[in-house]
Structure 1
Amino acid sequence: MVIACKHVWTYISDYLDGTLDPEVRERVQKHLEHCEICSAILDSTRNILILTADDRVFELPMGYSERLHARLELALHEAAPEDGEVSQAP
Structure 2
Amino acid sequence: MVRCKTIIANLSTYLDEECSPELRRKIEHHLSRCRRCSAVFDTTRKMLVITGDARVFEVPVGFSDRLHRFLSATLASA
Same fold (TM over 0.5): yes
* Local SS of the residue matching 1:25: helix
Cα shift at 1:57: 1.3
| CA displacement, residues 28-83 of structure 1 (integer Å, 9 cap, x when unaligned) | 1110010000000000000110111111113578xx6xxx6xxx7xxxxxxxxxxx
What fraction of aligned residue pairs are identical, expressed as a percent? 41
**Which is bigger in relative contact order (C-alpha 8 A, separation at least 6)?**
2
Determine the C-alpha separation between the residues in 1 that align with 2:54 and 2:8.
27
Report runs of 4+ in structure 1 exceeding 6 Å deviation: none
Are 1:42 and 2:41 matched, yes or no? yes
Residue pairs, 1:1-90, within 5 angstroms: 2-58=1-57
- Which 5+ residue runs of structure 2 have no aligned equivalent? 66-78
Compute the TM-score of the two structures, normalised by the length of structure 2: 0.72
Q: How many aligned residue pairs are there?
A: 63
Compute the TM-score of the two structures, normalised by the length of structure 1: 0.63
Whichever structure has more helix as a proportion of its residues is: 2
